[in-house]
Structure 1
Amino acid sequence: MVDETLARDIDAVCRLTGEFTLRSGQVADTYFDKYLFESQPALLDRVATRMLDLLPEDTELLGGLELGGIPIATMVSAKTGLPALFVRKKAKEYGTCKLAEGPDVAGRRITIIEDVVTTGGAVRDATRELRAAGATVEVVVCAIDRSPAGENPLADVGLEVRPVLTRADLDAVSAG
């Protein structure tokens, strides 16, 4: 069930119009600047709270993706007591040389936490790397799924996408 008040508040704070090139290379006329809600503690808390019911019961670690998934994963971790994992875009080339900072992932069930999913490129890359390190990754919980309605952009890697809000939810409450 969509929280229309949350959708309205997120839309009012985050929707930008213009011409924007997305990570995938696609050009969009609408952009949801997730940092505008992530930097507001009350809105971040509301998004994280809505994520709680979307988490698989067998989640052992919350994998927040750099950069936008990290504050959300931290907030969800604080609410659930589940350890957070901070997943880089690429492994460090110094120090520990880790891709994922936090507990060991081998043999653990990780739910990925992401801010916005469109084509799922960053999630796909992280999933492959985490699986290669021995983790089980089957679900991504995101704040906003802006992929086309009815499509799962991550089906090719066997991931289920569980969004708090979709592009359609935000469009439905948009003031313009």
Structure 2
Amino acid sequence: MNKFSLAKAIYDISNIKGEFVLRSGVVATEYFDKYLFEANPIILRSIVEKLKILLPTNYDQLAGLEMGGIPIATALSLETGSHTLFVRKKAKQYGTCKLAEGGDINGQRLVIIEDVVTSGGAIIDAVNELRNRGAIVETVLCVIDREGTGRKNLEAINLSFKPLFTQSELKCAVEL
């Protein structure tokens, strides 16, 4: 699937209209239900084929954020052979008390994998915790940039932000 066809497929399967309160607190009239494109194996495979190109040349592990980033990171791991971590919103308060499941993070160069970014708040929270635990985090890949304050907020904490699509690009693919 070429990038234009993928943009159209993502928009067609996941864009819904209504009134939605986003994690950032912003009320939106348009929402991308990422689980609808993540659950579709043809679309997910095409997404990871394109995301693979955006990966930096030097990293140790992928880090999928709970919950939407995990299926994308897992599929990207299968495509690239890279080890994947599953990053919780909050560290477990029992058992191993880990924030990231699947391996060690101390001294590891991680690439954050997320689905949709508006303000980047969940990413910032995760990156701050991962860095506090010794991880090196410099890059964030996502499928959709809703073109909110995410890029500015992520770049403010020294992250390279690489979305596969912006919301505008998805809309253009449908309008053509």
Within the alignment, does 1:152 sit opposite 2:128 as a pair? no
Determine the structure 2 residue equivalent to 1:76. Answer: 76
Within the alignment, does 1:65 sit opposite 2:84 as a pair? no
Determine the structure 2 residue equivalent to 1:54. Answer: 54
Q: Deviations over 1:23-79 (max 9, x none)?
A: 000000100000000011111111111110100111110000000000000001111
Give the secondary-structure state (helix, strand or coil) at the position aligned to 1:94: coil
C-alpha distance in 2, partners of 1:66/1:21?
Answer: 19
Give the secondary-structure state (helix, strand or coil) at the position aligned to 1:103: coil
C-alpha distance in 1, partners of 2:7/2:97?
Answer: 39
Within the alignment, does 1:38 sit opposite 2:38 as a pair? yes
Return the offset for 1:171: 1.5
C-alpha distance in 1, partners of 2:152/2:171?
Answer: 19
- For the 8 Å contact 1:62–1:113, the answer to whether it is kept is yes
The residue type equivalent to 2:4 in the other structure is: E
Matches within 5 A, 1:127-146: 127-146=127-146
C-alpha distance in 2, partners of 1:51/1:170?
Answer: 16
C-alpha distance in 1, partners of 2:153/2:38?
Answer: 24
Give the secondary-structure state (helix, strand or coil) at the position aligned to 1:18: strand
- For the 8 Å contact 2:119–2:149, the answer to whether it is kept is no
Aligned residues: 175
Give the secondary-structure state (helix, strand or coil) at the position aligned to 1:174: helix
Percent of aligned pairs with the same amino acid: 51
Q: Cα gap change, 1:151/1:110 in structure 2, threshold over 3 Å: closer, same or farther?
A: closer
- TM-score normalised by structure 1 residue count: 0.95
- For the 8 Å contact 1:117–1:144, the answer to whether it is kept is yes
Determine the structure 1 residue equivalent to 2:94. Answer: 94
Return the offset for 1:149: 9.1
Return the offset for 1:174: 2.9
Gaps of 5+ in 1: none
Identify, as 1 or 2, the structure richer in helix.
Answer: 2
Matches within 5 A, 1:117-128: 117-128=117-128
Q: Cα gap change, 1:153/1:174 in structure 2, threshold over 3 Å: closer, same or farther?
A: farther
- TM-score normalised by structure 2 residue count: 0.95
Return the offset for 1:151: 4.7
Return the offset for 1:148: 4.0
The residue type equivalent to 1:43 in the other structure is: I
- For the 8 Å contact 1:147–1:153, the answer to whether it is kept is no
Give the CA RMSD over aligned residues. 1.7
